[in-house]
Amino acid sequence: MDKDRLKGMGNKIKGDVKKAAGEMTGDASLEAEGHMDKAKGHVQQKTGEAKDKVRDAIDGKDRV
């Protein structure tokens, strides 16, 4: 598993926590940060998945 996938999962979780905290406290800025962190995490996770697919294809592990 690529490190970008792990970082992405972490950022998605961080984003969910910030978003929920912002909603509970009425802090729109914190909620927006949560949305941004979650989006960043999604992109990182997809980047890691792509790297894994390329690596697997080079190694001959991809059976598509």
pTM strictly above 0.95? no
pLDDT at 62: 58
Contacts for 60 with CB less than 8 Å, ≥ 6 apart: none
Structure tokens at 63: 């059976």
User: What is the chain's length?
Assistant: 64
According to DSSP, residue 63 is labeled: -
pLDDT tens for each residue of 10-37: 999 999 999 999 999 999 999 999 999 9
CA dist., res. 36 & res. 20, Å (int) = 13
